[in-house]
Amino acid sequence: MLSDLWMSLPNAAQDLILLIGLLAPSGLIALWVLHGLAPRALTQAMLRRYAPVNLVFVGLVAISVALGVGLISQERALRQGSARAADKFDLIVTAPGSEVTAMLAAVYLQPSDLPLLTGAQYDEIVGAEGVALAAPLAFGDSWQGHPVVGTTADFVTHLSDGALTGRMFAAHQEAVAGALAPVAIGDHVSPAHGAIEIDGADEDDHNSHGIEYEIVGKLPPTGSPWDRAILVPVEVVWELHSLANGHDAATAEQIGPPFSPEHFPGTPAVVVKADQIFQTYALRTEFSRADMMAFFPGAVLSQLHGLAREVREAMSLLTLVCQVLVAVAILSGLILITRLFARNLAVLRALGAGRRFLLAVVWGYAAALLSFGTLLGLGLGIGASAWMSRVLTARSAVQISATPGWTELHLTAGFLTLALICALLPGLLASCRSPLTDIRG
């Protein structure tokens, strides 16, 4: 069966065959129209003679194609970038509330006011069967707009896959910086309360805690907002906010777990990693109850991507309408342009040129404009999407990389083929006109 053969092909082969199928009608039309004829010289003369008008039409085509290509490419880049940023967060446990808000806070470090899990709840999570990592997170501080997050050394190791430059923090006033944080090992930073852009001002004027962290390690790039963060022992964040540090008097200077439930001040989120993948699902079920909420960030992202897909489909419809309108405008314009050199075409007819030759001249002229505009639009769409990806990456610290894909090529090929088919109409109209009428003017 053909369907079975098609499904057995690799995805790249299917995409290539589809691309060839979309372009095939254009090639067949060109063979039919241009076979045995040489209209190139006249076509080039028409392109030079009406260069300003031609550039306008090429620009219209390019803008139309660029809109569609840029939209599809950027949407895919945003989806892939946000998914990569959540790769290290298998399961998150928080107090009951909004999963989206909790995910934005824990994964993307967006400032949020979240309720806290108690020490008893955290102790229950740590003691659950199959839990390999249960890292509390503590938010609320920043340094020159970079979030300062309290956590444990185990989570930093998990986030860096063990590829840490320098070493792990081992004392209260030591920190590890993300790959994009503008600090080097050996630098000192003094955090302030809240997400404040300091821009070189005296931090004492911005609710500074009066503590300096020494940067002792740097994370490798993760493609997530954690690249901009500064990670410190969670105990210090609690202490700076006049809370217990999670340890009793005998272990007050300890860094990291185990924590004492009685002295645990609370945490807005716990990042959980299980020993086995199947245990992650069991843990989500276990901690999804009235007093706790467990969720997969990937599942929440899928819901958000579903909403984004609906928006993309609406935008794609608007883009399609725009392309149709541009195609109609181009078609109308080509018909009008052919009237500009109708007398020249009539002279050719009077000299013995056949109707098929006139069709070849006009269609070749239109095909040149449409082909160049389409290729230019493809390049502009890819370039604009790449530029926008760099802007979004700089603003969000989520690694967004827009690369051209098969979908954009299919869209471009389909648009070009449809436009070249429509371009037959001006040629047919020009070849069917009476030469005497046009010569008389």
Statement: residue 168 has pLDDT above 90? yes
Tell how strand 174-177 and strand 269-274 pair up: unpaired
Is the domain of 401 the same as that of 419? Answer: yes
Q: Is there a domain that residue 4 lies in? A: no
Residues 290, 318 within the same domain? no
CB 262 within 8 A of CB 248: yes
Residues forming beta bridges with residue 150, ordered by sequence position: 138, 232
What pLDDT is stored for residue 339 in this prediction? 67
Flag whether 123 is in a domain: yes
- 57 lies in the same domain as 117: no
Shared domain check, 244 and 147: yes
Q: What is the pLDDT of residue 352?
A: 57
Q: How far apart are CA 412 and CA 381, in angstroms?
A: 11
Q: Which of 54, 62, 55, 64 is nearest to 326 (CA)?
A: 64
Asked whether residue 283 falls in the same domain as residue 319, the answer is: no
Query: Does 406 reside within a domain?
Result: yes
Instruction: Give the pLDDT of residue 434.
Output: 57
pLDDT grade for 57, boundaries at 50, 70 and 90 = confident
Position 42 scores a pLDDT of: 79
Is the residue at 2 inside a domain? no
Ranking 120-134, 198-212, 227-241 by mean pLDDT, the lowest is 198-212
Name the token pair of 255.
């860094």
Backbone phi and psi for residue 256, each to the nearest 5 degrees, phi listed first: 95, 175
The b-or-e profile of 250-285 (16+ CB within 10 A means b, else e) is: eeeebbbbebbeebbbbbbbbbbbbeeeebbeebbe
One domain for residues 125 and 262: yes
Whole-number Å distance between alpha carbons of 67 and 415: 12
Q: What's the start-to-end Cα distance of the chain, in Å?
A: 61
Average pLDDT over residues 391-407: 80
Q: Which of 311, 314, 284, 282 is nearest to 297 (CA)?
A: 284
Residue 344 has pLDDT above 70, yes or no: no
- Position 157 scores a pLDDT of 94
pLDDT at 203: 43
pLDDT at 199: 45
Mean pLDDT across the chain: 84
Same domain, 132 and 194: yes
Q: What gap in Å lies between CA 148 and CA 158, rounded to an integer?
A: 18
Q: Look at the alpha carbons of 31, 33, 39, 43 in this order and tell me if their dihedral is positive or negative.
A: negative
Q: Which of 68, 66, 65 is nearest to 313 (CA)?
A: 68
Q: What is the number of structural domains in the chain?
A: 2
Among the residue ranges 180-184, 228-232, 418-422, 437-441, the one predicted with the least confidence is 437-441
What pLDDT is stored for residue 204 in this prediction?
43
Q: Percentage of the chain with pLDDT > 90?
A: 37
More confident residue, 218 or 432: 218
Strand partners, 133: 273
Task: Please check the confidence at residue 398 and state whether its pLDDT lies above 70.
Answer: yes
CB 154 within 8 A of CB 135: yes
Q: Do 422 and 331 contact (CB within 8 A), yes or no?
A: yes
Is 60 exceeded by the pLDDT of residue 437?
A: no
pLDDT at residue 278 tops 50: yes
**Predicted confidence band at 54 (pLDDT cuts at 50, 70, 90)?**
confident
6 located within any domain = no
Domain hosting residue 355, numbered range: 12-84+304-440
pLDDT digits (tens, 9 = 90+) for 117-154: 999 999 999 999 999 999 999 998 889 889 999 999 99
Exposure of 308 by Cβ count < 10 A (0-12 exposed, 13-18 middle, 19+ buried)? middle
Statement: residue 433 has pLDDT above 80 = no
Cβ of 232: how many Cβ atoms within 10 Å? 27
Are 46 and 404 within 8 A, CB to CB? no
- Looking at residue 350, its pLDDT comes to 58
Phi, psi of 158 (to 5 degrees): -65, -40
- Looking at the fold, whether 247 and 308 belong to one and the same domain comes out as no
Residue 120 has a pLDDT of: 93
**What is the bridge-based pairing of β-strands 230-233 and 146-151?**
parallel
pTM of the model: 0.75
Would 244 be classed as within a structural domain? yes
| CA 336/CA 275 separation, integer angstroms | 71
Query: pLDDT-based confidence at 9, cuts 50/70/90?
Result: confident
Q: 249 near 201, Cβ under 8 Å?
A: no
User: What DSSP assignment string belongs to 77-140?
Assistant: HHHHHHHHHTTT-SEEEESSS-HHHHHHHHTT--------B-HHHHHHHHHSTTEEEEEEEEEE
Mean pLDDT within 166-182: 93
How much is the pLDDT for 424? 86
Are 289 and 157 contained in the same domain?
yes
Structure tokens at 334: 């080509």
Among 87-96, 148-157, 296-305, the range scoring the smallest mean pLDDT is 296-305
pLDDT category, 198, cuts 50, 70, 90? Answer: very low
pLDDT at 410: 87
Instruction: Classify residue 1: in a domain, yes or no.
Output: no
Indicate the residue among 238, 267, 295 that finishes a domain: 295
146-151 and 188-189 as β-strands: parallel, antiparallel, unpaired? unpaired
Q: In the numeric block, which tokens belong to residue 70? A: 């840029």
Amino acid 337: pLDDT: 67
Q: Please tell me which residue, 210 or 370, carries the higher pLDDT value.
A: 370
d(CA 143, CA 366): 59
161 contacts 220 by C-beta, under 8 angstroms: yes
- Answer with the residue of higher pLDDT: 308 or 177: 177
Q: Are residues 156 and 205 in the same domain?
A: yes
End residue of a domain, out of 295, 323, 357: 295
Highest mean pLDDT among 278-282, 341-345, 383-387, 406-410: 278-282
Over residues 291-310, the mean pLDDT reads 84
C-alpha dist (Å) from residue 99 to 224, 242, 293: 19, 28, 8
Same domain, 378 and 359: yes
Q: What is the pLDDT of residue 432?
A: 65
Could you tell me the maximum CA-CA distance found in the chain, to the nearest angstrom?
A: 108
Pairing mode of beta strands 165-166, 213-218 = antiparallel
Question: What does the CA dihedral 213, 214, 216, 222 come to, rounded to 10 degrees?
Answer: 50
Domain boundary, last residue among 295, 330, 349: 295
Query: 207 in the Ramachandran plot: left (φ > 0), alpha (ψ -120 to 50) or beta?
Result: left
Tell me: do 169 and 268 sit in the same domain: yes
Q: What percent of the chain has pLDDT over 70?
A: 86
Identify which has the larger pLDDT, 203 or 347: 347
Average pLDDT of 58-68? 85
In a domain, 277, yes or no: yes
Q: Which helix (H) or strand (E) holds 270?
A: strand 269-274
pLDDT higher than 90, residue 71: no
